[in-house]
Amino acid sequence: MPFSQPPKILLVDDRPENLFALEHLLASLEAEVVQANSGNEALTATLNHEFALILMDVQMPEMDGFEVAQYLRMAESTSVTPIIFLTANSQTTEDECRGYASGAVDYILKPINEAALLSKVRIFLDLYRGHQMLKRENESLERKLTNTATIIVDRPTKVLAGYSLLRTLGRGSIGTVYLAERDCKGVKRKFALKVLRNRLPDSLTDQLTQRFMREAEAASRVKSSHVVSIVDYGIAEDERVPYIVMERINGQSLKQLLAKRKIRLEESVCLLRQLASALKAIHEAGIFHRDIKPENIMIENENNAKVTDFGIAKLPESELTQTSHLMGTLPYMAPEQFASANIGAQADLFSLGVMAYEMICGERPFQCDGLIDYSTAILHELPKSPREFVPDLPDILEYALARLLKKRADERYATASELLRDLDLYAKGKSIRSRLVTVLHRDGSTNWSEGGG
């Protein structure tokens, strides 16, 4: 099937003559070339285009190629885009290893062997075209599944691992969730059954299956009324399809609730307490969630919160959780997540703090447009004082938000249990004004805008 548009290649170099030479070299290929003469221009280009390949110089002013690559790996749209580094200045093993660690697929020294480079570029363009063809096939399959949804409803005998699939509840990038039913000792019970999509590229199937099963393993270890419980999981014998069976939640995500209306203060505190209780159970099971955000919080009857989606959770002593890429969702990532995937409970607590601030104040503490802006804000900037939104906010809640959003992990709550103790004090009408002032003074100020956050 012919492609309506040619694949795009991004060239990144601060020297115009190098960009000209590279574009001239690639002119024989059926590809569109986009130029960027700085790291910032490169990141902006990736927001507007989808690239099959990025060719990037290492030595550039303001932001070098390694830093650009780190930002690219943080964005879902460029997390797996191939990057080839081109350099004339660095021939050390250390720099070469740093290049590969930042996500590069190749590290080429100048002067460039033009024939070798063209051969490599052709390979990546062919891989991209193959991936696009599979993507279109998947989209076609999704449309067929949608069009035949009524057939599934009319024929509930469609069975997977002993569960009757009634209808589709939702679809994600790698999974589909069905409303499922099973006879349990004479009583028909309904569940949410999540399956790994078929027709995925062979190169991704094993990796995604491992990640899918890891999610089930992680969630099944946690016993809490505020964590979506796992009923069953495995790989269906006949179909060889990985599946997870979860309790069915009649409700909506916290993201959907926030989009509908402003959450009242007492309601926010109630949800915060429930989520802190969930994190306590998760961390005590030796697990770090690493992706706490409103989309992963289900709200039942608008007052009962449950944490879900353990897809990138870190389990104890599991090789499958190790990664060289940054993981999480940008607006809710803790500062330390920009430096390492080896993070602990305090990162989850920071993410909880972002959500708590959003529930109480009506907006996120960091309002940004792009990758660089978000990372800069989370690493270095302080949010507005919550009292700008809620002037009569009780001091203990101001303290809790300030403690959760500390830049340094060792200055946050050490455990979710500590946060729960402060929320207990709030429920009893206690004041901690002296403790609040002490913490803020340690930062050199007594208010958020100058250092309290």
Tokens representing residue 86 in the block: 């081109």
Instruction: Report the distance separating Cα 321 and Cα 316, nearest Å.
Output: 9
Tokens representing residue 90 in the block: 């660095």
Cα–Cα separations (whole angstroms), residue 272 to 261, 357, 409: 17, 10, 19
Read out DSSP for 167-236? EEEEE-SSEEEEEEEEEETTEEEEEEEEEE-SS--HHHHHHHHHHHHHHHHHHHH---TTBPPEEEEEE-
**425, burial (CB in 10 Å: exposed 0-12, middle 13-18, buried 19+):** middle
Q: Quick check: is 14 catalytic?
A: no
Instruction: Report the distance separating Cα 441 and Cα 273, nearest Å.
Output: 27
Which of 315, 343, 316 is closest to 327 using CA atoms? 343
Cα–Cα separations (whole angstroms), residue 233 to 73, 163, 308: 31, 12, 15
Instruction: Report the distance separating Cα 170 and Cα 197, nearest Å.
Output: 12
Instruction: Report the distance separating Cα 433 and Cα 396, nearest Å.
Output: 7
Contact between residue 86 and residue 107 where contact means Cβ atoms under 8 Å apart: no
Read out DSSP for 347-358? HHHHHHHHHHHH
At residue 341, the 3 state secondary structure works out as coil
Residues 6+ apart with CB under 8 A from 137: 199
Instruction: Report the distance separating Cα 441 and Cα 453, nearest Å.
Output: 11
Q: CB 304: neighbour CB atoms within 10 A?
A: 15
Q: Given 291, 348, 422, 443, which residue is catalytic?
A: 291
Tokens representing residue 440 in the block: 């803020």
Cα–Cα separations (whole angstroms), residue 10 to 26, 36, 37, 78: 11, 7, 11, 12
Which of 145, 131, 233, 157 is closest to 191 using CA atoms? 233
Instruction: Report the distance separating Cα 440 and Cα 402, nearest Å.
Output: 9
**55, burial (CB in 10 Å: exposed 0-12, middle 13-18, buried 19+):** buried
Instruction: Report the distance separating Cα 230 and Cα 227, nearest Å.
Output: 9
- Kindly list the catalytic residues: 291
